Amino acid sequence: MEKSRIYEAMEIAGLIVRSRNAALTDSEQAKLSAWINEDPRNASLYAQFQRDINVHQLLKQMDGYDFAKSLAKVRHRITGKRIMSKNISKLVSVSRIRWMAAAVVILALGMGTWFMLNDQRVSSSLNHTTVSTYKNDVEPGRTGSILHFPDGSTVNLDTLQSNSLNTSIGFITKNEQFASFQKKDPGNSIAGHLVLETPRSRTQSFKLPDGTIAWLNSSSTIRFPTTFSHNVREVEITGEVYFEVAHDALKPFRVKASEETVEVLGTHFNINAYPYKQHQVTTLLEGSVKVSGVILEPSQQFSAGKISSADTSLVIAWKNGYFQFGHHTVFREVIAQLENWYDIEVEYEGMIPERTFYGKIPRHLSLVNTLTILEELDVHFRLEGKKLTILR
Amino acid sequence: MSSGNYYNDETCVAMLNQQDQQAIALLMQRLYPALCLYAESFLEDKQWAEEMAEDAFVNLWQRKGKFPNMSAVKAYLYTSTRNLCFNKLATIKTRKHIQERLDGEYDTPTESTVLRHIVQAEVMAQIMNAVESLPPVLQQTFKMAYLEGLSNNEIAIAIAKNEQVVRNYKMRALAKIREKLADKDLLWLFLLIASQTYKN
């Protein structure tokens, strides 16, 4: 076995550890996803590390090894002498991790490592005879979108051959980072509105005429003018969009969504207006926004007339290439995200599991690999074509 | 009492390269549990696993090699342990073939499986080292809380501080562990030689 493969394995381990405690860079994430996608057993191993109890059990196992005895034996063998026990304790005293029976105290610390603060969760390991069956696999979503013009014509950005396209109204360009549209005639007259649409299983980052960048999750749209007016920048969205608004003190940026309109000066925020969410959720990351007459501060969220604090990394995990589920993520919401990203239909054989999920899964995985990870949580599936059934 | 000695990875490797025996103790402190875990993945026997790990460290010493960094040391240990485990499996297989068992229980694992075992061992090594590198007071509180399942009240009594202090220690311990595990540098920065040995 080549040494390089050993180093790769060590690197993957490092990525798994870091992914649970920090944000990975794009290339790190790609590396980890590639490894998970390589083999279902890799996906299973990754899944194992999404469950605290597995980590606790392994730590306990490691604690059971007799370090002191082994150290003494090794020292004896390499020096050929007996080492006095008092020398050992002078050099190395080992604190051993001890467990009390099965009690696992779990506490929540935001994104958490494998040790969390507060929440008492009893992980049940049910004895299941249910087994998942996968007749096929489904590719994950990718970059792509459709740009709709005022005259009704459309341009499909993923099938665009070159990196730029000349249309009657303006230029469409795309690069690694984002796609954009630049109006042709430099005058200020508004030639109409464009609508950028991401179908299911697609995501797109797009630069608006003022330099603002919008990231669209799947099944979303943004409607914007070819040129913004002189005193305000107004757009309209459906679905889920994350904004990094270009600063312009003279022209506030307004986003109209399903329920509330969000007004900003220059800032980073996420609006989730998906139907599966009972109410529009507006989350502020940086800067300042006003929604429904209320001014939000960073890490605050507005929904159905109420402000609350948000775990921002959880809210924009999608934009960073992850599904991330927190302590209050119900099963229904997990499924809704899968439906959008993999473009599948979901059915329940029995009751909808009443569980909350906690974990982080890269979005670049194929559906079967993602489901293999979710199986760790005692849920089982049947996949046929694009139809997913949650088994009893 | 805590000796408060800090050795980073570079120092440990340098000590090994200079044939300083203290290096073996330091390396074993960091790598022995994970290496045993790795060996047990193949052998499924705790005692054999410990033996293989010991042999690997002895091999490491006797090789008298010059290792460029800690990753190279680990790669050597994983390779050596795997070879030792495979030899052991072959021995077991030879003995077992006299019996009727044909279920391939002792078949040589594939390279893919071997690499997965390395991934698992390495992840656990990092987590364990993060816990072990906590300052004594935080480490003690952490272990009482998470590993022994004591309540804040019970810990407060045990360490003769009030509950708010205990909560504070826990928060700091978790933050430090998380910071450690989020670190870009995959190698250890510090080895804190812990003061307490907990006896059952």
> Which one of A16, A53, A92, A111 would you mutate to disrupt binding with B, by most B Cβ within 10 Å of its Cβ?
A92
Please judge whether B193 and A93 are an interchain contact, meaning their C-beta atoms are less than 8 angstroms apart: yes
* Facing residue for B132 by CB, picked from A41, A75, A95: A95
Residue B125 has pLDDT above 80, yes or no: yes
B98 CA to chain A: closest CA distance, Å?
Answer: 31
| Chain B neighbors of A119, CB-CB under 8 A | none
> Which one of A4, A97, A109 would you mutate to disrupt binding with B, by most B Cβ within 10 Å of its Cβ?
A97
State chain B's mean pLDDT as an integer: 81
pLDDT tens for each residue of A6-64:
999 999 999 999 888 777 888 888 899 889 888 888 888 988 887 777 787 788 788 88
For residue B187, what pLDDT is reported? Answer: 30
Establish if B106 touches chain A: CB-CB under 8 angstroms: no
A168 CA to chain B: closest CA distance, Å?
Answer: 49
Which comes out higher in pLDDT, residue A135 or A236?
A236
Mean pLDDT for the stretch of residues A114-126: 41
B99 CA to chain A: closest CA distance, Å?
Answer: 31
- The 8-class DSSP code of residue A127 comes to -
Establish if B190 touches chain A: CB-CB under 8 angstroms: no
Lowest mean pLDDT among A16-30, B72-86, B124-138, B172-186: B172-186
Please judge whether B29 and A67 are an interchain contact, meaning their C-beta atoms are less than 8 angstroms apart: yes
Please judge whether B127 and A7 are an interchain contact, meaning their C-beta atoms are less than 8 angstroms apart: no
Mean pLDDT for the stretch of residues A235-244: 94
| Chain A neighbors of B34, CB-CB under 8 A | 62
| Chain B neighbors of A67, CB-CB under 8 A | 28-29, 32-33
| Chain A neighbors of B148, CB-CB under 8 A | 98-100
Q: Going by C-beta distance under 8 Å and a sequence separation of 6 or more, which residues neighbour residue A45?
A: B116, B119, B120
Please indicate, yes or no, whether the overall pTM of this predicted structure exceeds 0.90.
Answer: no
Task: Give the model's confidence band at A345: pLDDT under 50 very low, under 70 low, under 90 confident, else very high.
Answer: very high
Biggest distance spanned by C-alpha atoms of chain A: 91
Task: Give the model's confidence band at B192: pLDDT under 50 very low, under 70 low, under 90 confident, else very high.
Answer: very low
Establish if B110 touches chain A: CB-CB under 8 angstroms: no
For residue B174, what pLDDT is reported? Answer: 82
Question: How far is the C-alpha of A183 from the C-alpha of A171, rounded, in Å?
Answer: 6
Helix, strand or coil for residue A57?
helix
Sign (positive or negative) of CA dihedral A70, A76, A79, A80: negative
Number of cross-chain residue pairs from A and B with Cβ atoms under 8 Å apart: 196
Question: How far is the C-alpha of A206 from the C-alpha of A213, rounded, in Å?
Answer: 6
State yes or no: ipTM above 0.85.
no
Task: Give the model's confidence band at A183: pLDDT under 50 very low, under 70 low, under 90 confident, else very high.
Answer: confident
Could you give the count of Cα atoms lying within 13 Å of A250 in the half-sphere of its Cβ?
5
Mean pLDDT for the stretch of residues B3-30: 84
> Which one of B7, B127, B177 would you mutate to disrupt binding with A, by most A Cβ within 10 Å of its Cβ?
B127
Residues A371-376: contacts with CB within 8 Å, 24+ apart? A371/A132, A371/A134, A372/A40, A372/A43, A372/A44, A372/A47, A373/A43, A373/A44, A373/A46, A373/A47, A373/A50, A374/A47, A374/A334, A375/A47, A375/A132, A376/A44, A376/A47, A376/A48, A376/A50, A376/A51
Length of chain B: 200
pLDDT tens for each residue of B47-94:
999 999 999 999 999 998 899 999 999 999 999 999 999 999 888 777
Task: Give the model's confidence band at A190: pLDDT under 50 very low, under 70 low, under 90 confident, else very high.
Answer: low
